Chain A
Amino acid sequence: MASKEKAGKGAPVAARLGIWTFLATELLLFGGLFTAYTVFRITYPDLFHQEHLKLNRLLGALNTVVLLTSSLSMAVAIAAIRQGKKRLMQAGIVLTLVLAAAFLAIKYMEWTEDFARGLYPGSNLFFGLYFVMTGLHGLHVIFGMCVMLYLVVQGQRNRFSADYHTPVEITGLYWHFVDLVWIYLFPLLYLIG
């Protein structure tokens, strides 16, 4: 399998190791917050239960679907460029960008609703964690969008092919990681708080 993968498709091993190492630091960055969440969730179960009910479960679920779908379009974009299908790759990345923007728009609506109801990062421990965790995750979404915008521009200049598309592969891995973080944030904050 490994030798087959080297033949034209996929990124070089060094690039894959590099991005996975970066993702390791990212995991530990979020890991600190997940640890804080775990400790306070165990220490103040009643506060967490009472406060998490104030979140909009439906919008959270909708955002989960949006982000999962953006992972699909990213995976399709990578599969496409591995076969040299440039237009399908471009379409996949643009769709991922649109879905990422939709995710942020929904998040914006949620935060606006929270602020309107007087819920701020300083309101209590749960909302402190909620805003910091979803805020840090949102920053990662914005960063991912910047990189994808760069990919679209480069793609437009015909920089990627079946033989060379390492930046697309690497961005894909980063984007799926952002999705992975949300896969845990959603149940922890919205469902079992």
Chain B
Amino acid sequence: MAYYKSYVMVWIALIVLTGATVGVSFLNLGLWNAAVALVIASTKATLVGLYFMHLRHEIKLVIGFALFPLLFLALIIIGTLSDTMTR
């Protein structure tokens, strides 16, 4: 029972965060709009990963497999930007 309850709580948090990010998008904050949207999206992604994808109870090896690809993604984006931004 405890599981279902925590899933519903996470779902409520995800819906509230979705509402928040839509609300903020109507304000004009300049560059902060993108920053706020990305922070909220990452918070949502963390919730999904930790609770729905069970990373909260996962063994270290699997957590490593889940997080390591993020380094590659960062490498690709930063590596590409370091080229295109300096042309």
- Select B81's contact among A42, A68, A74, A190, beta carbons within 8 Å: A42
A147 within 8 A of B: no
CB proximity to A under 8 Å, residues B58-76: 58-59, 61-62, 65-66, 68-70, 72-73, 76
Question: Cα distance A187–B65 when bound, in Å?
Answer: 26
Question: Cα distance A119–B38 when bound, in Å?
Answer: 26
Question: Cα distance A71–B54 when bound, in Å?
Answer: 13
User: Assuming A24-B68, A74-B52, A184-B45, is B18 touching A65 (CB within 8 A)?
Assistant: yes
A65 near B52 with CB under 8 A, answer: no
- Select B77's contact among A1, A31, A180, A184, beta carbons within 8 Å: A31
B15 near A65 with CB under 8 A, answer: yes
Interface of B is mostly: helix
A residues near B, CB below 8 A?
1-2, 5, 10, 13, 16-17, 20-21, 23-24, 27-28, 31-32, 34-35, 38-39, 42-43, 57, 61, 64-65, 68-69, 71-72, 74-76, 79, 172-173, 176-177, 179-180, 183-184, 186-188, 190-192
Further pairs besides A21-B65, A68-B18, A187-B25: 14, Cβ < 8 Å: A24-B68, A27-B70, A27-B72, A27-B73, A31-B73, A35-B77, A42-B81, A68-B11, A71-B48, A76-B4, A176-B53, A180-B45, A187-B21, A190-B25
Cβ contacts A to B, 29 pairs, < 8 Å: A5-B59, A13-B59, A13-B61, A16-B58, A16-B62, A23-B66, A24-B65, A24-B68, A27-B69, A27-B73, A28-B72, A28-B76, A31-B77, A32-B76, A39-B81, A43-B84, A65-B18, A68-B11, A71-B48, A72-B8, A79-B7, A179-B48, A180-B45, A180-B48, A186-B18, A186-B41, A188-B37, A191-B25, A192-B34
